[in-house]
Structure 1
Amino acid sequence: MTARALAPDELIRRCDARSLELGTAADGSPLVAGQPRATEAIAFGLEMAQPGYHLFVAGPPGTGRRVLVRQAIAARPPVDPAQRRDWVYVNNFAQPYKPIAIGLPMGRGLALRTDMQALVRDLRTMIPAMFESEEYATEVERINTEFKERADAAFAEVMREAQARGLALVRTPAGLTVVPHKDGEVMPPQAFEALPAAEREALQKAIGEVQEQLVRALRSSMRLRKEHADRVRELNRSMTRVAVDHASEELRARCADLPKVAAYLEAVSADVIEHAEDFRAHDDEGQGNEPAAERLARYEVNLVLDACASGNPPIVEADLPSQQNLVGRIDHVARFGMLTTDFRMIKGGLLHRANGGYLLIDAAKLLVQPFAWATLKRALQRQAVVIESMADLVGAISTVQLEPEPIPLHCKVVLVGDRQLCALLQAYDEDFERLFGAIVDLDNDMPRSTDNESAVARSLAALARERALLPPAAEALARTIDHGARLADDSTRISAERR
């Protein structure tokens, strides 16, 4: 075969603009072309509901890794709204440092928060009105009169016995005491000593016996005071119970289909009955140095995930996948020189927002964040979101910490990174392949067929529409395809990178 000189037009393969099938915007052209294997692999990973099939989308930047994932998610049917959940944290009255997590049907988390605010507001009106009513005042007066009569009767018996034996009860700084009594007056010590020995001994014996009777009466009085306090306390509980039952009746009926909410409302009722004085106090009053309004905050509902505020399904992209951003955090406030916290200061994280949907994370950004990779793995292994503080992870001495109840996690995590990073994780992290069972490998380039040229042209036109740019001319698209062949270093292939 003899060598021949090549003509200039034979040194380069040019795309014919007239051969491009561009279609229209209504066709819904994909933003990425020429990745059939990757598209199928992503669809497989998203379809697998079993644990351990999270995705790692590997490929060089610019190949449309995130776009392919978003396209695949958009192609899936939406989640049934009946399956989506709101999540709230509420006070655990038995163990305040272990807040309770409650899942509710979508939209009912915000409704529960509003209902609890209304319940507290109603109780702050109803409970004081109950205790200021004539019925309550009459019942308290009846109890007071009953116990006063019983106490007076016990002491009257002692006084009668003392008078019958020539003695009297005298109140001293040390309390009641029994002394000799003669002619209506207390017998002076000198007169007592001047009595005959037999009479003096008889009086001393009588004093001792009456003193014992007085001690028994005093003990009986103490028991009566305790019984009186118990009766008044039970009356207060009964009155408060009536107010709570009336105020919460409609809310209980609405939440009868939610066992955990019903149990929480029972706990709220019991706590309100035990702490009715907080509802009777003004805003600047309360137990100790804590205002009543602050103490009533324990009945609030902390809405950490409002499913109505996210898409269907929720698609969350992590810009900063730090440990706290992933699982949330627990804030603290300085109060009386100490850092304190409670269930209201629990903040949800990316995994909470992505629950029931998808979480896209840049793998390189994730791995450079302290404890973030280990925290994500634990969440996926447990299939639950456990809020952990950085202080606990590093073993630092900290203030009082909460232990919120874990929230079940139903989320598909998609890591995006290059092939080298994926290979390193496969080689050095034994948990990686158990959790990320769907590895998606994007092609660097594609065959330069007429169909692929048209597909690339349509994807470029769709990208221009997405970014609100003017529609590119067919000739411009053809020249861009030629440039893609130069990037692939092969006139028979087109680079898949879009930079």
Structure 2
Amino acid sequence: MTEQTEFRELTAEEVTLKLDPKSFGFKSTQELEPLTEIVGQPRVVRALELGTGIRHPNYHIYLSGLVGTGRNELITHALRERILDDSIPDDWIYVNNFDEPDSPLAISLPAGQGIQFRTEMESLIEQLQESLPKAFKEEDFGNEKEKLRQIYRKRGEEVFDKLQKQAGQHELTVQQMPNGEILFIPLKDNRPMTQEEIEKLTPEEMQELESHQDELVGMAGRVLQEQREIQRQLSVDVREVARRFAIQIVDPLVNELQQKFKSPKLKDWLSHFKNHVINHLNLFRDTADMPPQAAALLAAEGGADPELRFMDYRVNVVVDNSHLKEPPIIVEDAPNYRNLFGTIERVVDRAGRVITNFTRIKAGSLLKANGGYLILNLMDALIEPFVWKELKRTLKNQSLEIQIQDH
């Protein structure tokens, strides 16, 4: 026969645990350090040790538990205690792509060098703003330009003299108007005829005059074309002189940066930067020294504002790890598309247009956690539009695309 266990009703006094507060060794729980260890969960500890020990991109850790149990704090502390590699991940910067401006270049640099490079570039631009205008005002530069002007002025005069000589054979003189138009004026006694004298010519004389003028018009067209070509070549040669003077200033400064920063991709960008500066010297000229049309064009493009004028040379540091002493552990409390993957901000310019550029690229928590750990609430990520699919694609391809997100 089976024995039956007897039960009895317990009193409230019997089920109440009585503790003496003096036995705790503290007056208030505020005096205690927060609990960081995982207590009573040996499987969780083993799983974390296994997960953090696997150095492979296709392995991730999923932690489940009740709300309010301090999962974020516990997993953060557990990761920090079990980090095997103390190397600090690289900084990430964006710079202008001089060949394809719509595709800015992302460059990684050792931690701390992102901010350093941005500071160096700002200093370099300031130096060029000061040094290049001075070079264009130096006596040697002015003498070189004047020599070229004299050479091409002589060529222009020789071309015009040929036309003048040809016209003289028909008793005509050549007069060039300020707008470039060429007139053929009949001569009388080696002086230009007055309008009254021209009106007194006989029909036969007028017909002969017009015939000679028509004959010279074709030659005048060729003369104008040669003059334009001479002027164009003068501009080319003057720019080449300016380039030569500028290279003497720009080369040493850029070479110094290329020696300081060892990234091959950055060295290549600096070479493109140098070429862009040499080919866009008007950016560094004083507008007072520029032709009116060139000065007006520069002003229309925002040349009066140094920030806009030198936008192509700015450095956008999207991830700065200079403050880290260990791989980053990023907790993303709101894993929406923008916060996770980053975005490209847009602004309204003076004309009311919505624009953007590479300096408006902002990193998300996924890029900030690159080389470290990202902690997020899986359920939050699943219910956010487009997040879960893009997160899987990014982790699988090991490639992050930052884009404007309108949804």
| TM-score normalised by structure 1 residue count | 0.69
User: For the Cα contact (< 8 Å) 2:118–2:315, is it kept in 1?
Assistant: yes
Q: CA deviation at 1:297?
A: 2.5
The answer for the alignment partner of 2:141 in structure 1 is: 136
After TM superposition, the structure 1 = structure 2 runs for residues 86-125 of structure 1, keeping only pairs within 5 Å, are 86-125=91-130
The answer for the alignment partner of 2:389 in structure 1 is: 374
Instruction: Work out which of the residue numbers 191, 202, 207 in structure 2 matches 1:193.
Output: 202
Higher relative contact order (CA 8 A, sep 6+): 1
Classify 1:77/1:182 alpha carbon distance in 2 versus 1 (closer, same or farther; 3 Å). Answer: same
Q: Is 1:156 paired with 2:161?
A: yes
Deviating runs (4+, > 6 A) in structure 1?
11-17, 282-285
The answer for the alignment partner of 1:352 in structure 2 is: 367
The answer for the alignment partner of 2:340 in structure 1 is: 326
User: For the Cα contact (< 8 Å) 1:32–1:67, is it kept in 2?
Assistant: no
Runs of 5+ unmatched residues, structure 2? 26-30, 289-294
For residues 391-420 of structure 1, the C-alpha deviation after alignment (integer angstroms, 9 at most, x for no partner) is 2xx5xxxxxxxxxxxxxxxxxxxxxxxxxx
- Number of equivalent positions: 383
Alpha carbon RMSD of aligned pairs, Å? Answer: 3.5
Classify 1:5/1:93 alpha carbon distance in 2 versus 1 (closer, same or farther; 3 Å). Answer: closer
After TM superposition, the structure 1 = structure 2 runs for residues 3-18 of structure 1, keeping only pairs within 5 Å, are 3-4=5-6
For residues 186-227 of structure 1, the C-alpha deviation after alignment (integer angstroms, 9 at most, x for no partner) is 454445435579xx65x6654444443333222211111111
Partners in 2 of 1:96 and 1:288 — Cα distance?
20
The answer for the alignment partner of 1:314 in structure 2 is: 328
Runs of 5+ unmatched residues, structure 1? 395-499
Q: CA deviation at 1:79?
A: 3.1
Q: What secondary structure, in the 3-state scheme, does the structure 2 residue paired with 1:87 have?
A: strand
Partners in 2 of 1:12 and 1:217 — Cα distance?
116
The answer for the alignment partner of 2:405 in structure 1 is: 390
Partners in 1 of 2:316 and 2:91 — Cα distance?
11
Q: CA deviation at 1:3?
A: 5.0
Partners in 1 of 2:315 and 2:99 — Cα distance?
16
Instruction: Work out which of the residue numbers 53, 57, 63 in structure 2 matches 1:57.
Output: 63
User: For the Cα contact (< 8 Å) 1:279–1:292, is it kept in 2?
Assistant: no
Classify 1:3/1:169 alpha carbon distance in 2 versus 1 (closer, same or farther; 3 Å). Answer: closer
Q: What secondary structure, in the 3-state scheme, does the structure 2 residue paired with 1:66 have?
A: helix
Instruction: Work out which of the residue numbers 281, 285, 296 in structure 1 matches 2:310.
Output: 296
User: For the Cα contact (< 8 Å) 1:31–1:67, is it kept in 2?
Assistant: no
Classify 1:180/1:383 alpha carbon distance in 2 versus 1 (closer, same or farther; 3 Å). Answer: same
Partners in 2 of 1:262 and 1:196 — Cα distance?
74
Partners in 2 of 1:72 and 1:159 — Cα distance?
94
Partners in 1 of 2:236 and 2:114 — Cα distance?
39
- Identity among equivalent positions (%) equals 29
Instruction: Work out which of the residue numbers 272, 276, 279 in structure 2 matches 1:274.
Output: 279
Q: Which amino acid aligns with 1:125?
A: E
The answer for the alignment partner of 2:353 in structure 1 is: 338
Partners in 1 of 2:373 and 2:287 — Cα distance?
47
Classify 1:60/1:196 alpha carbon distance in 2 versus 1 (closer, same or farther; 3 Å). Answer: closer
Q: What secondary structure, in the 3-state scheme, does the structure 1 residue paired with 2:311 have?
A: helix
Higher strand share: 1
